[in-house]
Structure 1
């Protein structure tokens, strides 16, 4: 009958929004148990309230995310380094091919151009790596008082259902006496 104190945050469509269990405002956020035994609507602002619930952080997923970010950073730095090496080799080839004074003036101009291009390339790489939005936690654990309220409400609903079924059963009521008094 009891369900675990792990609730997953889900969003529903605007048309199916219902009132929040806490403040009774319309909400599209739902907290639901993994086995779908219990669910209730709640405002997103209540999910940030530490007096109501606490987010459950998956350490394995967090470590995997950090590792992935580190690998992406290493790849980005490698590409940047290879690009610089390629441009450096091109610059050396240009310098070797032009040995006269006019060539030196052009090389200095091209030197400045390549430096500007390198700066632009590194800025472009930094721009492509936009700051990702911080993911909101998806799994929450209710505080003890709120979890107990959910259990009590579920228990009362089951008791009421059992009582309705008993009242429908004709053998539940006593029969009329058949003998003479």
Structure 2
């Protein structure tokens, strides 16, 4: 039985927590092999112990994460530039409105109140959407901790021995159920 020394970190619900393999405290972190043959619960603090396991760095994943961060920064910069342009445009409109004649002001005030009310509502909705997008982006940021680990050789050997023991126990149970395993009673005369 070949068991790869590659374990993926998974999280479970608090209600599903079980004892850590090392310290027996309840833990919601699980290390599992890619083929789901072996798994065990472990505390997050033990994952940082270099004598227990070491992180396998995924260079492609790191590159993708860095690219996403760069794109997020560029998006923020574009949003700031857009907001600045909108503010400047609004300032220019206010200055041009002040320069108009008194007569046009009176007529435009009634129209402007209606327009500014709708413009203010539109701008408020736009700002609310931008804020909700920013909040959603900040909430959905994943943790930067490693997700794939390789166990130290002693712990890895312990897991292999455990799986071999389980397999041997199953084989022994099947042998015990087989009646041909036991010797039969002699059938001849013993005189």
TM over 0.5: yes
Is 1:152 aligned to 2:156, yes or no? no
Equivalent in 141, 154, 159 of residue 150 of structure 2: 141
Q: CA RMSD in A?
A: 3.0
Deviation of the 1:86 alpha carbon: 5.3
Equivalent in 175, 183, 191 of residue 174 of structure 1: 183
1:35 aligned counterpart, secondary structure: coil
2:173 corresponds to = 164
Q: Aligned runs of 1:31-70 on 2, under 5 Å? A: 31-70=31-70
Deviation of the 1:18 alpha carbon: 2.2
Residues 7-60 of structure 1: per-residue CA shift (max 9 Å, x gap): 122222333322211112222222111111111111121111111011222211
1:22 corresponds to = 22
2:114 corresponds to = none
CA distance in 1, matches of 2:22, 2:35: 23
CA distance in 2, matches of 1:28, 1:90: 53
Is 1:10 aligned to 2:10, yes or no? yes
Deviation of the 1:179 alpha carbon: 2.2
Worse-superposed segment, 29-38 or 83-92: 83-92
Unaligned runs of at least 5 residues, structure 2:
100-130
Count of residue pairs the alignment pairs up: 156
TM-score (norm 1): 0.70
Change (3 A) 1:71 1:49: same
1:78 corresponds to = 78
Unaligned runs of at least 5 residues, structure 1:
99-124
Change (3 A) 1:63 1:168: same
Change (3 A) 1:70 1:35: same
CA distance in 2, matches of 1:56, 1:140: 5
Deviation of the 1:64 alpha carbon: 1.2
